[in-house]
Structure 1
């Protein structure tokens, strides 16, 4: 829109009461945008897309394995007191949007981490976004919407076209166990934990911090929780790093590189790990690891 050239996004188009409520506001504060693009939530921005063909391949696979999920429109927000735009924040009720985005934006794509939102007044098309913010400050919505498909779209100053649709056709019951793990890095070393010998699965091997993704959690949310419980830290999770799928073990493991955290790192879950150890690349070859792919992944992480 505005003077920009065509822009391609992966989006969720809103419908029902959610779309009507946003369009009523846009009719007042941004009729240009209302006339071009339907009310939507962007999942992947053009600036994040390095390889569009790979992105669409991932979108197809992710949609096949993802069931429909609910989101909710919440509080109004803005950038630069409205001058940078006004939007309604999207509450990701079961972590569905975040899970999709982290799968789609694995390398080589770029990850911005921009909060999910639906725009009410865009800074390039609204005649007065600051006045819009003055009107909406402190207010919000409480409207839910069920996400059933991802859309690959192209938008320019006057048109918005859906290029491809990806229906969320996954079954609610997952066939694989979802896990989230961390490569916690510090000065050329990575942190591993030695699992207790009485563990029901993978006893007496060295494993990554992390664990199971609980219902209504995204892997990103699960890893933050697990790192608090296991290590006592509040970790900074930036872009997703790797996703490991093992159909023999029926697991899918989402991995992050963790280089920054708050808190004093210690073994807060001794019932899971006998001890923690910082390891260099030279230390890894002689250790029994929880999965054979860990060795090349750990070496790759240490070389990054």
Structure 2
């Protein structure tokens, strides 16, 4: 089976990390991720990330640095993450998500991250030189009770293209 590359954006602005809650497929719905999606054949990963963030959240971004590493996120899928600057727009869950939330550094583990995103978020924190309080605890289990602002979709779309196997 050929590996399919999935890109995620660690959108970092005003000292906060953007997280997006999946609306589909059912086995992923309600869990949080670094927003992004599949790289299309012949597409550069950075271009795919900018396209996906525009389609899914209505924002213009610029990938600044690739987070070292890559992580399996389902059968035949590998996640790569970039730290991303927000250039324009206010993130809204237009497609594939039903909520977005800006997380302060001390609230990053207050959401229920998808399993494949947990190591990517940890590495992102290292790259951003932020402390990871979950690093000394057991795996984060999010309570989803963060007080950070949220945005809710009025018409959640199905799956960010990750499909049921992510």
Same fold by TM-score greater than 0.5: yes
Aligned length: 128
- The alignment's TM-score, normalised by the length of structure 2, stands at 0.66
Q: Which has the larger share of helix?
A: 1
1:188 aligned to 15, 39, 46, which one?
Answer: 15
Take 1:302 and 1:245, find their aligned partners in 2: how far apart are those partners? 18
**C-alpha displacement at 1:255, in angstroms?**
1.2
Query: Aligned ranges for residues 1-304 of structure 1 at < 5 Å?
Result: 175-196=2-23, 198-246=24-72, 249-269=75-95, 272-290=96-114, 291=116, 292-303=118-129
Q: Is the 8 A contact 1:195 1:207 kept in 2?
A: yes
SS of equivalent residue, structure 1 residue 241: strand
CA 1:200–1:213: 2 relative to 1, 3 Å: farther
Take 1:218 and 1:200, find their aligned partners in 2: how far apart are those partners? 29
Q: Any gaps of 5 or more consecutive residues in structure 2?
A: 131-166
- The alignment's TM-score, normalised by the length of structure 1, stands at 0.38
C-alpha root-mean-square deviation of aligned residues, in Å? 2.3
Q: Which has the larger radius of gyration?
A: 1
**Structure 1 stretches of at least 4 aligned residues deviating more than 6 Å after TM superposition:** none
Q: Is the 8 A contact 1:181 1:210 kept in 2?
A: yes
CA 1:175–1:238: 2 relative to 1, 3 Å: same
Q: Any gaps of 5 or more consecutive residues in structure 1?
A: 1-173
